[in-house]
Structure 1
Amino acid sequence: MVHKEWLRYYTELPSRNADQSDNTLRYYKTLLGIDLAISQKDTADYTAMVAVHVFGFQESLKIYVDPIIINKRLTHKETLEEIEKTVKHLGGKHKVHVIVEDVGYQAAVIQYLDNNNYRVAGFKVHGMDKRARFVAVSHLFESRKVWLPQSTSKALAAQLVGFGIEKHDDLVDALVMTLQCILAGDRPVGNQRAQVGMSYQEMFELQGWGENLDMNW
């Protein structure tokens, strides 16, 4: 689904304070996708956290994966501590949009983050499997709109290229959630499209994604 030659790498993140009058440079949002493991067993998936910074839109859209990529087995307490630390690094709870798959145990984490004033959304898959979700965003890699950090993305790149073969795919799951949300706010619908300055909730409602996200943004 994603070929190795589609992957693009950067050595330094663009400034989020760049010239805001130029839409090709304009910074819009930072999203943190979290795929929670339900077990710490050796055979279980890892908890994965992947953040992206969104610049430009449509033809000029560029998505930069943050260098801080989490992929490890964590207790519930460690998970909450890792989220807090990561969100702080990304700019703080009022600036980062947190997306957590809303399944089973994950609901408790979503509720905790909501109660603690994070901008959190529960992502509902509605029966759409991992492969289908990945296929739906793969064109972003083919069109070279997604950029990975050169120094810290080895595991993520391996999972992207080896999806379906690699033992774990939790980093892909976390990233795909953010990419699906970005796509929802980036495409026109009829004579309407997401406008600069729109909240992601307004974008999702415009795109008809309200049924996938339980938002507190």
Structure 2
Amino acid sequence: MVIPLSIRAAAELEIRRRRTEELKRINGDSETIRERLGMPQLHPAQIRMLAESRRYNVASCGRRFGKTFLSADVLLDGPRKKGALHGYPVALYAPTYQTMLESWRNLVYLLKPITSQKSEQNKRIDLNTGGCIEFWSLDNPDAGRGRKYATVVIDEAAMIKRLEESWSQNIQPLLLDYQGEAWIVSTPKGDNFFKTLFDYGHAANPARDDQWQSWQIPTWENPHINREDIERMRSSMPRLAFMQEIEAQFVTFAGTFIKAEHLHSGQPPEGMTLYQGVDLAISMKENADYTAIVTVGVDKNTGRVWIVDAERRRVGFRDALDFIQSKAERWRPESIAIEVVQYQAAVVEELLRSTDLPVRQVRPDKDKLTRAQGLITRYENGLVWHAETLPQEFINELLSFGPDCEHDDMVDAAVYGYMMTGDYGKTLFILPKNPETEVMQKRQEMVEKGMPGLPDGVMGILEKQPTEGEVCGNCTAFNSETKLCEERHVKVRAHDPGCSLFVEAEG
């Protein structure tokens, strides 16, 4: 049903139409302006989305699909010509001020040739086409209340904590005057209100609202992304993380990262270089986090990561120092990684001042789930083994590790220790046991799905029949020190049986 415009809005629309016609004679049409600004051409998937769009549009996109350029195109031009180039007021909403600021800077630079005025304080760009773009952070769910817009883009919507409140009570009413349209775009993040909005327009929803349109677009729909890199990520990332970040699927992570069948235990080999990770929590309260210390090593012969020791305690400042020193004396680690944030810095400073322990400061630049991906992937592929003496609470933490777990102190410590090994950050490529049949089957499946094949170098390795003495006679596994030479040949040595079949190259 078409809702009639108010008399005032209709009058404004007619004035805007006349102004736009006049400005077209001065500036040219929107295509001419786009060329003048040097705006990139949209790729086929983006063009298809614009053609299929409706009033309310929800796009669940893989990372680097091209959300930024699509959003800019919608705000400036748009499928129904309700963008700022056509004289309309439009707005971009972002989860935080910092993410909004990046979009602001990009568009300020892009639109400089046709900007008549801009306000750094109010984050508003006025164009000589008569349109304007305003930028808002949804740290405040009422941001922009009282305005009216012809088009809004909500960027990274899945990351907005109070999205339901912002959309229902604030943003959607702002579209009434111009019968405006909304684009709600994001990489998914579990089952939240972004997923609810996505379901409104999902083709599989029997109660689909005709005003809504939804898409689930994986990263590889962007033809400018190197497809070999995508397949490397498929092998190196935890399965669920790849499904969310690259395939743009809605998945639930809690309690599903590491499963019981991923756990293996045995007697750690002698002679490994050991490393320790420390997750600090200086408190004696019963509900406080623990200070955890985990000792990790990598067997260079098999490529296995070994968790040799793990312990957690609730300790105060002085006891934390003693705890770290006692574990260092027990295991003689090559280095001790300690996260440095807030009060942890005082512990590190005291250890450096009063001891000769090989303390290394770790400054987290990613969230804990992202940091843990490399270790999780190795668990999934049977490449992490436990000493049989590890405590049950370490196992319990592993099996419940996720965004909502109550305690993950020992898992964090294990990740910090693993970061010190030199194995962290490498890409893992899994090789089939029967290369000739399994590789060709995999390649055929990818062709049928319209997906890229594996990287040329990796395919060469997969299809290569190893010669005698290159691999373990029992498990046909390449060891962890395998590298690719310039000719893409494989140089390996035999090692102990029982390890998984893999090749590692720098990621």
TM norm structure 2: 0.32
Shift of 1:102: 1.0
Q: Shift in Å at residue 3 of structure 1? A: 1.4
Sequence identity of aligned pairs in percent?
A: 28
Partner of 1:112: 350
Match of 2:318 among 71, 77, 97: 77
> Any idea what the Cα deviations from partners look like across 1:35-83, whole Å, max 9, x if unmatched?
00033222210110001122117xx31122123x221101111111111
Considering fraction of residues, name the structure with more strand.
1
Contact between 2:276 and 2:295, CA under 8 Å: does it hold in 1?
yes
Is structure 2 residue 307 aligned with structure 1 residue 65? yes
TM-superposed deviation, 1:4: 1.1
Is structure 2 residue 170 aligned with structure 1 residue 170?
Answer: no
Structure-2 separation of matches of 1:109 and 1:120:
11
Deviation at 1:172, TM superposition (A): 0.6
Match for 1:38: what amino acid? I
- 1:165-186 deviation line (CA, Å, top 9, x unaligned): 5421101110011223333476
Q: For the structure 1 residues 35 and 189, does the alpha-carbon distance in structure 2 shift closer, same or farther, using more than 3 Å as the test?
A: farther
In structure 2, the CA distance between the partners of 1:120 and 1:185, relative to structure 1 (3 Å rule), is farther
Deviation at 1:143, TM superposition (A): 1.8
- Output the amino acid matched with 1:179: Y
CA 189–131 in structure 1, closer or farther in 2 if over 3 Å, else same: farther
Residue 88 (structure 1) aligns with: 329
Which residue does the alignment assign to 1:212?
none
Paired amino acid for 1:130: K
Distance change (3 Å), C-alpha of 1:55 and 1:136: closer
Q: Is the 8 Å Cα contact of residues 281 and 314 (structure 2) preserved in structure 1?
A: yes
| Structure 1 residues 181 and 190, CA gap change in structure 2 (3 angstroms) | farther
Which residue of structure 2 lines up, in the alignment, with residue 39 of structure 1? Answer: 283
Amino acid at match of 1:54: V
CA distance in 1, matches of 2:372, 2:400: 12
Residue 9 of structure 1 corresponds to 265
Please identify, of 37-46 and 76-85, the stretch whose mean Cα deviation from structure 2 is larger.
37-46
CA contact (8 A) 2:279 2:292 kept: yes
Query: Shift of the alpha carbon at 1:2?
Result: 1.1
Structure 2: give runs of 5+ residues left out of the alignment: 1-256, 428-482, 487-505
If asked which structure has higher relative contact order (CA below 8 Å, sep 6+), I would say 1
The 8 Å contact of residues 46 and 71 in structure 1, kept in 2 or not, is answered as: yes
* Equivalent residue for 1:124, pick from 363, 368, 376: 363
The 3 A distance-change label for structure 1 pair 143 and 79 is same
How far off its partner does 1:112 sit? Answer: 2.0
Q: CA separation in 1, counterparts of 2:425 and 2:374? A: 15
- The reply on whether 1:101 has 2:339 as its aligned counterpart is yes
Residue 101 of structure 1: how far off its partner (Å)? 0.4
Give yes or no for contact 1:87–1:96 (8 Å, CA) kept in 2. no
RMSD: 2.5
- Residue 133 (str. 1) matches residue 371 (str. 2): yes
The aligned counterpart of 2:298 is 54
Structure of greater Rg? 2
Matches within 5 A, 1:206-217: none
> What is residue 23 of structure 1 aligned with on the other side?
none
3-state SS, counterpart of residue 138 of structure 1: helix
Moved more, 151-160 or 177-186: 177-186
Task: Tell me the distance in 1 between the aligned counterparts of 2:407 and 2:485.
Answer: 39
Amino acid at match of 2:369: R
> Please, what TM-score do these two structures have when normalized by structure 1?
0.71
